A and B are shown apart, each in its own frame.
Chain A
Amino acid sequence: MGRRICCRPRPLNLMLGILASIIDGVLVGLVYGLAAMGLTLIWGVMDVINLTHGTMVVAGMMGLYLLVNALGISPYLTLPPVLIGGFFVGVALYWIAIHRMVGRPPLMSLLSTFSVNLILIGIGTAVWGTALFNVEVSLPGFSLGRYTFPGAHILAAVLAAVIAAALYFFLHYTRIGKALRAVANNREAAELVGIPTTRLLAIAVGTGVALAGVAGVLIGTLFPFTILSGDGYQLKGFIVTVLGGFGNPVGALLGGIALGVLEGAVTPFVPVSWTLVIEFALFVLVLIAFPNGIFASRRGAL
């Protein structure tokens, strides 16, 4: 694979590089958005910040790794089992840590989910340490000049969009979905109308965790990971949620894209180490300027 050292005049080269980074940002951003959707769903429905979210993403990654290595199937075939497994784990999480916290100040649910997170990480690191896991995924990609978009990135982005669309459909066109939105809007009223709120809250958490899990599977096809990788994605999840509006899954997707584009657009110009500073500065500024998120609809609506 010979390559000439320089084949284009510099300014055009640079433009192409920026464009490539932005496109890459959109692709990865879609996956970030998916990773945040579970967080924002639970938040929107019951005002609970799920601090196990990052660990659930890692659980999805581990699911991918274990299933691929044990059964030798294609990585993308692990999506259904992780989705279903994640749902049940989420329901269990609801009953263990969240049920009693509904209606109490948000600090309580923060702490209860935080403590469950500690337990999960404690067990995870005791069993697997902080070893690095990698799932090799090789798909033909797409090239733009000297810049390549790996096939795995493109497929992950497409799948993220598909899943987001499915979630939207679920929330707006199915009975359960509409009931969920009713509960998010006004829980007491929903109860008065005869909606079984407890069951729906459990379903919401189940769905949220399932989303975290499948996001984990997709991320696992892109990057190597360890048990502790969850923190980074949870933090990104917070940023995306703030950008996209609390409780707004479509907003989360858009927020994710915005974050991805930001990372891609900033990198060519600024020393790489300043990217994080810029991200967080922007995060705080956006919070101050748009206390309900940039793409927010009415507070409490999905």
Chain B
Amino acid sequence: MKKLLIYLKDYKKESVLGPLFKLLEASFELFIPLVVASMIDKGIPAGDKGYIWQMCLVMAALGLIGLVCAVTAQYFAAKAAVGFATKLRHGLFAHIQSLSFSQMDKEGTSTLITRMTSDINQVQSGVNLVLRLFLRSPFIVFGAMIMAFTVDVKAALVFVVVIPVLSVIVFGIMLISIPLFKKVQGGLDRVLGITRENLTGVRVIRAFGEEEGEIRKFDQETDALKHMQMVAARISALMNPLTYVVINAGLVALIYVGALRVEAGILSQGQVVALVNYMSQILVELIKLANLIITVTKAVACGNRIQSVFEIPAGMESPEYGSAKEITQTGTVEFDHVCLRYHKGGEQALTDIHFKAHRGETIGVIGGTGSGKSSLVHLIPRFYDVEKGSVKVDGQDVREIPLEVLRGKIGIVMQKAVLFQGTIRENLLWGNENATDEELWEALRTAQAEEFVLQKEKGLDEKIEQEGRNLSGGQKQRLSIARALVKKPEILIMDDSASALDYATDAALRKSIKSMPGKTTVFIVSQRASSLLHADQIIVLDDGEAAGMGTHDELLAGCQVYQEIYYSQFEKKQESGAK
């Protein structure tokens, strides 16, 4: 949480002035018992109505000044808190954007989204409350004590006993109950988990007739949750009664000591009333403080969750611009004995991959599930860093090319076609902001998407809903291919991105990509051997290792893994030997 406070630094003025005005308001409040006391001691015995009027006017004036101070304080506090949250949100968003693929994989997007939204909101209200109230309550508590000292030192000693006892109770209960509340939150998470699981898996659960078992499991979880809630509640239920006892015991003691002091002629009756009033002020503040502490602990917990995101070091280091050397071999991709491991201690995802792709070549990558096909092509735009060896693009190690430059050369179409809310045009422009309509249509034509876009009522300006819900899987894939083509990349990577297309469209797509002007180096990852037949080079992966490399004919003759894949898909034509 602490490190987040740097986002407050632009609001130094507000974060100081807010509490300051709040303190001002509180101090005016502290004068009230004194005013009442002098009314009782001076005005009433003398029957001086004028004096009483005067004192009441003073009280009303104090109230009014208090109001002005409070409003000012609220304004500054709100401004600082909202500004803080805005800056924090900006900072966090930018930071998350800088995270690398492997870090995103590890964190998971859904938690990051919660941090960005509800956690930051919690922190915002926490900061707001702290600025407004957190100083006020202790100030009134101690202020009341100090004021009591100005009335009478000996009687004020009661406060000196009461306040530490109170703090022990308040903070003690808090310290015990915070971990308990955390446990409650955990229990709630499990209830949430099982509910969601039952919704997503409803078909499987019903297919196995497991409804009753699931209800039993849910009952157990809610029982556990209730139990945790009760334990936590039992502890915090002590807070009010205990503080009440302590404060009022203090009150009794105060009256007793006060009576003794009055007898000794040191205190007046009005002063005793003032002391009693200070004691009740403390009571009121403490109740507020206790409620506040709960909100603040929640905010701190959320703040810590946010901070833990900030503590993930920003992605990968990108070399400075200008450090890029002169390019000699445009469009080449070279893997030099590359090994990749996603987690330390985990299995190697790629082992000793070594090949070179020349400009304009088509490279096919084929292999089983989990054999490392995606991993291999993800290394080219440096989504991940290699463990050993090096990946070279344009003859240069990717780690020596600024990320933006590197990724600018490469158009990649991911396995899962992702489109964004907005028009088709806006989505395509991601590839190149300055592309003309002419260029967009050309890309659509190549991606076999021209026809269906033309059929749309508004053509390029047709709206795409969130996650492309109003498009079919094949349409989304073709649009995401077109988006990559708009970029006119030197290197085009298609990561199994034609899986939702029927075979005829797939074939047409490959043909049109092949005939694109300019010499683009193309990587095609596929499970269909038919998609790769005509590649200049096919890399056959098996469990992260290259089981074979070469043209279709070479592999069919000499690579067992490739033969297995190929014949599994072309059983019928085995004898005739398809070419």
Partners in one complex: no
A interface list, Cβ under 8 A from B: none
B interface list, Cβ under 8 A from A: none
